[in-house]
Amino acid sequence: MAEKIATREAYGMALAALAEKYPDLVCFDADLAGATMTKYFKAACPERFFDMGIAEADMVGVAAGMSLCGFKPFVNTFAMFAAGRAWEQVRNSVAYPHLNVKVVGSHGGLSVGEDGATHQCIEDFAIMRAIPGMLVLCPCDGNEMRLAVEALVNYEGPAYMRLGRLAVETVTDSIPDYRFELGKGATLRDGTDVTIMDDGAGIGLAHHRRGQCPRRSWRGSRRISERELPRARRPPRRQRRVWPQRQGPAGARRLRRQCRRHHRQGQAGAGHKEISRAYKQPPRSIPGAAVSVCQKVCFCSRPLSAGRTTLSARQNVLFLRESLANS
């Protein structure tokens, strides 16, 4: 069975494992070591771990200064804060002078459902990609995350990496001749009909579903009939909204029954609605002849109002004759 681990946990373990190999590696966090999994680095090298508290902008500024002193700082916080609250410092203090600072945003995307919509950061890719010279990456599983962390340590320049909250199944370790390179994609499975490009946690889901869909033509998937859908998702049946005379006697009888039912229930305006369906127009714009037809088929002697005009019983008969003659 493939390994199932969250990319944030794989990141924390990989960063701690590289601490001894790279003595210039330092880690910054904003009071979130338990969530971003930098607690592993803290336990391995407490003298190179700096908890800056809930001050993301100050943390990025300090990390920029540490990079000028020859260190390789990794800045860790939630993606919402890394790309939102500290964006100005990332742009001006890190990316503009092209400093060797790695910004790591955990809990990115929609997988952080338990934390609420305020922490579901889906704009971080667009925000960070808009900064010139900023490298952006999002590993898909634990194996790729371990390779990406060491690649970032050896990369000179600013970079942003998104981490996921939920545990995902590892798929890259079973790919023959898999090789991770910054700035390049990898083909996980060959095909002929459709090309699917993804990153992050979505790759595991797409790879897991491979081969489960039957083969289709190159034009795409077949059309699903209404009977194959759950009842709650079935679209309503199309109703013919044409003049009853065009539907024949059956259409006239159906309209008569509907209007009669509406007036019996005290819904006088519903009869106007049925006529408006026949005319394909809103109720306020239907002609007076249509209103008279509604009263006639309902066998209703009381006048109905159409806009500001109130029609008497005699006018109803006259309008009815005129409408039938013109139809």
Candidates 3, 9, 56, 150; catalytic one? 56
Quote the CA–CA distance of 206 and 40 in Å, as a whole number.
31
Do the beta carbons of residue 41 and residue 34 sit within 8 Å?
no
| Strand pairing class (309-310; 25-29) | unpaired
Q: Please enumerate in sequence order all residues whose Cβ is within 8 A of that of 243, keeping only pairs 6 or more positions apart, or say none.
A: 278, 279, 327
Q: Please enumerate in sequence order all residues whose Cβ is within 8 A of that of 323, keeping only pairs 6 or more positions apart, or say none.
A: 287, 289, 290, 292, 293
Say how many residues make up the chain. 327
| Strand pairing class (49-51; 72-78) | unpaired
Indicate if 156 belongs to the active site: no
Burial tier of 165 (Cβ tally within 10 Å: 0-12, 13-18, 19+): buried
Distances 203 to 189, 197, 198, 299, 300 between C-alpha atoms, Å: 11, 8, 6, 65, 65
Residue keyed to tokens 């009842």? 231
Residue 309, classed as helix, strand or coil, is strand
**Which runs of consecutive H residues, i.e. helices, occur in 18-123?**
33-36, 39-44, 56-68, 79-80, 87-89
Q: Which residues are catalytic?
A: 56
